[in-house]
Structure 1
Amino acid sequence: MTTIGHFVSGKRVDGKGERMSQVFNPATGEQIATVQLASKAEVNAIVKVAWEAQSAWGATPPAKRAQVMFRFRDLLNQHIDELAKMLSAEHGKTIPDAKGEIARGIEVVEFVCGIPQLLKGEYSEQVASGVDTFAIRQPVGVVAGTTPFNFPAMVPLWMYPVSIACGNTFVLKPSERDPSVPLRIAELFHEAGLPAGVFNVVNGDKEAVDALLDHPLVDAVSFVGSTAIGQYIYSRGTANGKRVQALCGAKNHMVIMPDADMDQAVDALMGAGYGSAGERCMAISVAVPVGAETADRLIAKLTPKVQSLNVAPYTDPNSDMGPVISREALDRIKGYIAEGEAAGAKLVVDGRNLKLQGYEGGYFLGGCLFDNVTTDMSIYKNEIFGPVVSVVRAKGYAEAVDMINSHEYGNGTAIFTRDGDTARDFFSRVKIGMVGVNVPIPVPVAYHSFGGWKRSLFGDHHIHGMEGVRFNTRLKTMTTRWPSGIREGAVFNFHSGSDTKA
């Protein structure tokens, strides 16, 4: 049985505490590893390592930091097959899904290869007589990140490459459910030439997170996960004077207009609703067909596709969807399905009785499809985080938009239509952070930024892209004057640009 520790000062280290957590293969339900959970004292020691490394790394020219990022990108590409198999074994998602996740993370590394350009400042000459002003961005210091189980490669890669390229050092606390990939990627980063102590990985639970939130040497905290925990992290972190970005839960709607290409919409909904077993914050979990005829056509085309999903372990190359992450997640999802039935929603496709020979202990659930869902039901209001799609019928376009804007989450949404005027109005009116037009999962490319509105985000900055650079740097503005000779007199008040004596 493998025991998983931490990554500190450029190498793997064993934990010193006695607390452990189990890592399971979701396809079989069997334990495959034990992960050591760090104590507060261990976290404090790791933060000190990062703090001691920051000064030299922050003083490293951005062009040299970029060289490390180029080598890191190449190593990630070279090892993508190895990383995907490791990821799928602990998470359960299919190999193509795992490779796609890693590829989206590599995009962020490619983005920060241009860090010299991204950190260019601003300069204004002659703001007053003989006075110039310029602004620069400097690293915040030590940054900590806490990431979820559903994207053990991609989400961390959305955080620390940007932070480290900006001159910070980083302490990552990944999910203890699938910790192997973050540690392996840390080794590759060190192999790329990153100095020891700049990037560290600590495995742990709430004790480790609280230690990071409370530590006086941690300057900023980035988080991706549930809304309840995100709000807690934002409140505790900011109370301790830290800069915090917390990307949280979602309930993403896809509006299908009567003029939509229905085949395209159904294919998009299949991938967006059931890909990765629905365990992603950008999953489309609510379909909103406009008009009864549109809804009937949607259900007629969608039902057989959901029924024919090939649910299998990642070792099956024909698998469309793997298991969910844990027994607890499986039970929670089934509980929501029962609540939906009890509330009066029509369960068109029921995936709860799925059985796979040889994988009876796995956490498998077939695709589930509800029709006639209403906005007062728990399956509509709450993030299920599983392969469950709810169809909520809207009488008109205005009702569909109001439905989206009234929900507490504002992460992502999409509309499928052939009408440009409708699409433009939708894009303008919805109170959502990321919007797709005939694109079901509008996750921005790496040089744009990812983030939601309302209770899907706590903090002022989205992740990666230029918002990521802003979060990981502080703005400093200098005003300079170099007199050509000695001048007499002093001015003790603010002056205008025309005041030649100041």
Structure 2
Amino acid sequence: MTQKHVKVKNHINGEWLDESNGHYVPLCNPSTGAVIGEVPISSADTARQAVAAAAVAFPAWSATPLPKRMNYLFALHQAMKDNLEDLAQSIAVDQAKHISEARGEVGRVIEIVQMACSIPALIQGETLQGIASNINGRVIKAPLGVFCGVAPFNFPALVFGWFIPFAIGTGNTFVYKPSTESPLFMQKMMAILVDIGLPKGVVNVIHGEKETVEGWYDDPNVAGVCLVGSSPTARAIAEGCGRHGKKTMLLGGAKNFLLAMEDAPMDLLIENVIASGYGSAGQRCLAVSNIAVVPEIHDEFVERLIDAARAVKVGDAMNPDVFMGPVISAKARDRISNYIEIGVDEGANLVLDGRNPAMPKANADGFFVAPTVFTGVTPDMRIAKEEIFGPVLSVLKVGCINTGLATLNAHELGNGACIFTQNAYYIEKFIAEANVGMVGVNVGICAPHPYLPFGGIKGSLVGNNKVQGKDGVDFFTQNKVATIRTVDPAGQVPTAGVANGAVRSCVAS
């Protein structure tokens, strides 16, 4: 089926707009390598225009009664359910996430929006009675203004869900920059927001690179910036925003560990390693990358892992019969292939090489890397230390739970880690001592439910603000404190100009 050529547009203040500077880059289908559209690289002026529109919309939107704001989220929730397949197809085309996983991503965002519909319960303030005679204190959770967000290519729907429903539900307005490599989901999502009647300027979408958003740092209309991306990018945004006192929510890179103990349920372990390491072609922030295995099961695990990885069917993301689609771009494919060469040069054992897999003619120009496995990996190797972001697994042999924990805790990143065991002592020790933000037990992907916060620690999180759940509500609000003295009109001498009759009438009654 031929993909219609798409000209991606910005959406500012209720209007779909071409980029005024005329600068566009090609949009490719990673499954075929074909150019399927063009994406604007917006100027800093365009970014400022979007922020200005959001700033104009903020006063009226923040003053909109909370139940009415929730009605928009309810409508969004229903519209996403009604359009799930169309939204998933857009992800499978430009991001090349396998169609089944694309459906799962959209389904998770629907759950996140559902959770955001509970904002009225989470935004309630606090009252302290009797601070002094007739004096009470009150804490109000108030919106701040305009927030801006930058999304990566790998989860175009999920990151929308982490940012926008919480931001607008709490009364803020938003400017969102999707990845230029996967913009189609947000084109459809913005159309849905228009269809449900969201007031113009509340959500605005622009496209571009880092230069597009650098003007946000000193824009007085911007209250804060959100990012899911690499750790270096997160640090750069933190520095830029920090100079101007802006809030930031910045999720960075990952190098996730899985520790397999001697009593690990082997069938479940292999199934989860394959799903975690090769699902989405390894392009997940919670994909397992380093697998630490104790000697008792090391050889059996490696043998079964290689057999299972060889059986993974790689192909077009739109083909329901395959398990794993391509990586996002030719550049990503080449970078991953280079890391495989680095692993060989470092002395690791390349027991399964996924470079240059044979593909059908229709996908011969796609950006494919098949499942890859290294054994004999040591913690000092680059393939064990650096984020490859592709379908490459490194197996490390560790002596026991203590050496396994020491290995993962020594890594500078701390996004997620999982343990496979049936031993309660191991489980509790791992939960207590694994120095990561998200822990999994007998699961390959330790993604928290939307009710709970999502985010790492150490180099995987710049600052301390995480996404979704109550953390998302807290980030997009500020605590406004009121000190209130109440005065009994009956005990006061009325001053000139006061409607004395009304006061006396009230007292007399």
TM-score, length basis structure 2: 0.94
Question: Which residue of structure 2 lines up, in the alignment, with residue 435 of structure 1?
Answer: 439
Aligned residues of 2:99 and 2:319 also touching (Cα < 8 A): no
State the Cα deviation string for residues 14-68 of structure 1 (Å, max 9, x = none): 1111211111010111111011111111111111000000000001111111111
- CA shift digits 1:89-142 (9 cap, x unpaired): 101111111011111111111111122111111112112221111111000100
- For residues 216-258 of structure 1, the C-alpha deviation after alignment (integer angstroms, 9 at most, x for no partner) is 2111100000111111111111112210111010000000010
Aligned to 2:303: 300
2-structure distance, mates of 1:464, 1:329: 29
Counterpart Cα distance in 1 of 2:305 and 2:169 = 45
1:115-264 superposed matches below 5 A: 115-264=119-268
Residue aligning to 1:361: 365
Aligned position for 2:501 = none
* Aligned mate of 1:334, from 326, 332, 337: 337
- Are residues 1:383 and 2:387 paired? yes
Query: Partner residue of 2:459?
Result: 455
SS at match of 1:260: coil
**Secondary structure of the equivalent of 1:392?**
strand
Which residue, out of 464, 473, 477, partners 1:469? Answer: 473
| Structure 1 residue 9 displacement after superposition | 2.0
Matched, 1:393 2:397: yes
Equivalent AA in structure 2 for residue 13 of structure 1:
L
Tell me the residue number matched to 1:309.
Answer: 312
Distance 1:372 1:155 in 2: 36
Number of matched pairs:
486
Q: In the alignment, what sits opposite 1:347? A: 350
Q: 1:322 aligns with which of 320, 325, 328?
A: 325
- SS of 2:350's equivalent in the other structure is strand
| Off by >4 Å, runs of 4+ in structure 1 | none
- AA aligned to 1:302 is L
- One-letter identity of the residue aligned with 1:323: P
Contact 1:63 1:115 in 2 (8 A): no
Q: Which residue of the partner structure matches residue 57 of structure 1?
A: 61
**Counterpart code for 2:119:** I
SS at match of 1:214: coil
Asked whether the equivalents of residues 69 and 192 of structure 1 are also in contact (C-alpha less than 8 Å), the reply is no
Structure 2: distance between partners of 1:326 and 1:428: 39
Q: For 1:69-80, what aligned pairs fall within 5 Å after superposition?
A: 69-80=73-84
CA distance in structure 2 between the partners assigned to 1:176 and 1:151 by the alignment: 13
CA contact (8 A) 2:9 2:16 kept: yes
Residue deviations 1:408-441 (CA, integer Å, cap 9, x gap): 0000010011011210111011111000111221
- For the 8 Å contact 2:119–2:473, the answer to whether it is kept is no
> Which position in structure 2 is the counterpart of 1:491?
none
Corresponding residue for 1:34?
38
Structure 1 CA distance for aligned equivalents of residues 336 and 154 of structure 2: 15
Cα distance in 1 between the residues matched to 2:318 and 2:184:
18
Contact 1:273–1:285 (Cα < 8 Å) also in 2: yes
Q: Confirm or deny that 1:22 pairs with 2:26.
A: yes
Q: Which runs of 5+ in 2 are unaligned?
A: 494-509
Alpha-carbon separation, structure 2, partners of 1:459 and 1:470: 14
Letter of the 2:307 counterpart? P
Q: CA deviation at 1:260?
A: 1.0
What is the deviation of 1:190? Answer: 2.1
Distance 2:8 2:319 in 1: 27
**d(CA) in 2 for partners of 1:442 and 1:476?**
35
| Secondary structure of residue in 2 paired with 1:195 | coil
- Map Cα deviations across residues 292-336 of structure 1 (whole Å, 9 max, x no partner): 231111112111010111001022211100000000000000000
Which one is further off, 275-284 or 84-93?
84-93
CA contact (8 A) 2:140 2:479 kept: yes
Counterpart of 2:339, as a letter, is: Y
Q: Report the alpha carbon displacement of residue 355 of structure 1 after superposing the two structures with TM.
A: 1.6
Does the Cα contact within 8 Å between 1:355 and 1:364 map onto a contact in 2? no
> TM-score normalised to the size of structure 1?
0.95
Mapped pair 1:402 → 2:406: yes
> Which residue does 2:450 correspond to in 1?
446
Which residue does 2:506 correspond to in 1?
none
- For 1:165, the aligned partner's letter is G
Q: In 2, are the aligned partners of 1:108 and 1:162 still within 8 Å (CA)? A: no
| Residue 3 (structure 1) shift | 1.6
Distance 2:312 2:437 in 1: 30
Q: Distance in 2 between the 1:239 and 1:79 partners?
A: 42
Amino acid paired to 2:351: V
* Equivalent-residue separation in structure 2 for 1:81 and 1:483 (angstroms): 60
Q: Which residue of 1 aligns with 2:507?
A: none
Unaligned runs of 5+ in 1: 488-502
Structure 2 Cα separation of the partners of residues 65 and 184 of structure 1: 21
List per-residue Cα deviations over 1:138-161 (Å, max 9, x = no partner). Answer: 001000000000011111221111
Amino acid at match of 1:328: K
What is the distance in 1 between the residues matched to 2:345 and 2:464? Answer: 40
Distance 1:279 1:137 in 2: 36
**3-state SS of paired residue (2:277):** helix
Deviation, 1:10, is 2.5
Q: What residue identity is the alignment partner of 1:354?
A: P
* Alignment partner of 1:417 out of 418, 421, 446: 421
Q: Please tell me the residue identity of whatever aligns with 1:378.
A: R
* Seq. identity, %: 38
Q: Offset at 1:486?
A: 5.1
Residue among 110, 119, 122 paired with 1:106 = 110
1:2 positional shift = 2.4
